[in-house]
A and B are shown apart, each in its own frame.
Chain A
Amino acid sequence: MQQNDSIITFDNVTKVYHLGGIDIPVLRGISCEIKKGEHVAIMGPSGSGKTTMLNIIGCLDRVTSGRYLFEGKDISSFDDDALSEVRQKKIGFIFQSYNLIPQLTVLENIEMPLFYQHLDERKTREKAMELAKMVGLGDRIKHKPSELSGGQQQRVAIARALMNNPLLILADEPTGNLDSVSGREIMKLLCELNEKGTTLIVVTHDAGVAKYARRIIRMLDGKIVDEN
């Protein structure tokens, strides 16, 4: 299933935060490559820079120095709108705390990424319905997130992440708030997606989650210490 062309290339990437006049280096020269169709887990203790790395990969943050190539294109110099477009068209996010919008229904939450692509409303709705059924929530589409369990909410989040047919799914501690049974179900779902060809990057400090991945990148103090 794996293809040889790389989707993400980090070339000596650093990231420094300026907090109250003090420079805090978070990433200290990271170089790595992730290919299309891979399932990668990024592991490390808190403060190791794994979430920052995920934010940069997800075009939510910019590198301080070095180069970040997405599908071979250097996007370090992209402006805010262009980065938004990359997120909109190519990336799906899954968060630890689900991050659903509380006042919207399940279906509306799933539809949201396509809202900004100005597509046909009926087709959008059909697709969202399809995805809701796929994650097993076809009968809950009118419910608000607060009426669902954690596992169900995370499945809504997965459906939302799939709405734009992303090349890449980024999951930040996707099972962190779930019990082990729901966590396993979520990971199973994510692995199925990966098998269908979507590149999957999971940030976790849970070895049980990381073991699903074919490749684990271990980080410590802003550096990659182990990669296999």
Chain B
Amino acid sequence: MKINFLHLIRIVRHGWKNIWLHRLRSLLTVLGIVFGVASVIAMLAIGEGASFEARKMIESLGSNNIIIRSVKLPADAKTQQASLLGVYGLTDRDMRKLETIPSVVRIIPAWEMEEDVWYYGKNISARVIGTLPEYQHALNLSIKTGRFFDYTDIQKSLPVAIIGSTVRTSLFPAEDPIGKSIKIRSSYFTIIGIAGEKVFAGASESFVAEDMNIAVYVPISTTKDFFGEYEVKRTTGGIRSWERNWVQYHRFVVQVSDTDKILATASLVSDILSQTHKKQDYQIIVPLELLRQAERTKRIFNIVLGSIAAISLIVGGIGIMNIMLAIVTERTKEIGIRRAVGARKRDIINQFLTESVILSASGGFIGIMLGILIPKAVTKFAGMMTIITPWSILLSFSISVAVGIGFGLYPARKAAELDPIQALRYE
């Protein structure tokens, strides 16, 4: 088909004029497309935002890691009397055994305790984590200023600490924390570094997420020296209800040599631990598996959203077809006149197809505007992260154009097939 570009512009201008002439009708016609496109973009943006947060969070646990957490089991009735001193969780023995798995690169133990951290009058309840220097890299922890502790600090059991970004902002809103001392229980720790901010997406269904920004990292030898291996918790109830538990390690970060070996390693870990632990006082978290699960969920989410969007776009397309058929009838005489002065069938098809594409594309355009505004509003008012991807805009716009062509073709052909003589006589 020989259409030069300038002529195409003229056809488009003509079509736009006709649509503009019936602004209200055109607007009502394209509402279906508008909402279809807007919902595609908005829902994809919200879904993308949610999965981005989940992915970030899971990645912050390290996708090459397996994380084992000690879990305090609820005391059963039989042992309740004797459980003045509870013993649970991961031990040195577990660590030595797990280190024999060939695919395990290293195991980084961590001791954790929820403690009030003080700086003069201010305090914040933070997670104090005693661990090894490798912890930083295993969990992709960035250091904004200062440094992470090293093996010299470990050997000397120095009272040094690295604080998370939230701890920093609440204890040191206007000061440089480096070199200052914070108080945990009755000991003072010198701050040597501040961790960079980490995305925190809240708790997901499969595991309790931890906000890594409310953490204080100290050498594991220091925690042992200062706090021992007992955790003391006040339980609900009277003054004497103190609970003492003996826990050697709260957490192992198991680094695996190869991503492909993670699942196999995880099942080995589970086997080994189940041999030594009578009760399952531990939880194995495989971030990679969570990541895959999140991706699966996202895929299903996308399919559902896709079908909803497809339905609304089809409905929108039918709306356009309906109005185009009405327009063809309304302008039968015009078609006759145009044919009489020499328009070929394909000129008529081009004219009406252009109009339906202009309709659907402007609907798509309005839909894109709306679809960009909705996620912004969601972010502003619901505090949810949203990401508008360029491909979602491109996709929904092309779909709206395709809808215009698909549903405009039949009315356009119908217009072209009109008998010029009959059309001229039409009143």
Contacts and interface: CB of A to CB of B under 8 A. Distances in A.
Contacts of A118: 3-4, 6-7
Given A95-B424, A99-B333, A101-B334, A116 B345 contact: no
Contacts of A85: 342, 344
A115 interface: yes
Interface residues of A, number: 27
A97 to B, nearest CB: 9
B424 A121 contact: no
A115 B10 contact: yes
Contacts of B339: 60, 84, 87
Given A55-B421, A121-B6, A116 B337 contact: no
Given A103-B18, A117-B342, 14 more contacts: A55-B421, A60-B340, A60-B424, A84-B339, A85-B342, A85-B344, A87-B340, A87-B342, A88-B341, A99-B340, A101-B334, A103-B17, A113-B342, A121-B10
B69 interface: no
A105 B6 CA distance: 21
A89 B342 CA distance: 8
Interface of A: 55, 58, 60-61, 80-81, 84-85, 87-89, 91, 93, 95, 99-101, 103, 112-113, 115-118, 121, 160, 164
Nearest to A80: B345
Interface string B396-420: 0000000000000000000000001
A116 B424 contact: no
B420 A116 contact: no
B384 to A, nearest CB: 47
Nearest to B6: A121
A55 B4 CA distance: 31
26 contacts: A55-B421, A58-B340, A60-B339, A60-B420, A81-B344, A81-B346, A84-B342, A84-B343, A85-B344, A87-B339, A88-B341, A89-B342, A93-B340, A99-B424, A100-B337, A101-B337, A103-B17, A103-B18, A112-B337, A112-B341, A113-B342, A116-B342, A116-B343, A118-B4, A121-B6, A160-B341
B338 interface: yes
Nearest to A98: B337
A81 B348 CA distance: 12
B347 interface: yes
B344 A80 contact: yes
A113 B333 CA distance: 16
Contacts of B333: 99
A99 B337 contact: yes
Contact of B341 (A80, A93, A103, A121): A93
A164 B344 contact: no
A121 B6 CA distance: 9
A160 B339 CA distance: 14
B7 A84 contact: no
B334 A87 contact: no
Interface string B3-25: 11011001000000110010000
A81 B345 contact: yes
A104 to B, nearest CB: 9
Nearest to A99: B337
Given A55-B421, A61-B421, A113 B18 contact: no
B344 A84 contact: yes
A48 B394 CA distance: 61
B341 A87 contact: yes
Nearest to B334: A101
A121 B420 CA distance: 26
A164 B345 contact: no
Nearest to A95: B424
Interface string B305-345: 00000000000000000000000000001101111111111
A128 to B, nearest CB: 13
Nearest to A89: B342
Contacts of A103: 17-18, 21
A191 B341 CA distance: 21
Contacts of B337: 99-101, 112
A118 B345 CA distance: 15
A117 B421 CA distance: 22
B17 to A, nearest CB: 8
Nearest to A161: B341
A56 to B, nearest CB: 10
Contacts of A88: 341-343
Nearest to B343: A116
Interface in B243-273: none
A218 to B, nearest CB: 23
Contacts of B421: 55, 60-61
Nearest to A88: B342
Contacts of A95: 424
Centre residue among A85, A91, A113, A115 by max chain B CB count within 10 A: A115
Contacts of B347: 116
Contacts of B341: 87-88, 93, 112-113, 116, 160, 164
A129 B424 CA distance: 26
A63 B344 CA distance: 20
A131 to B, nearest CB: 14
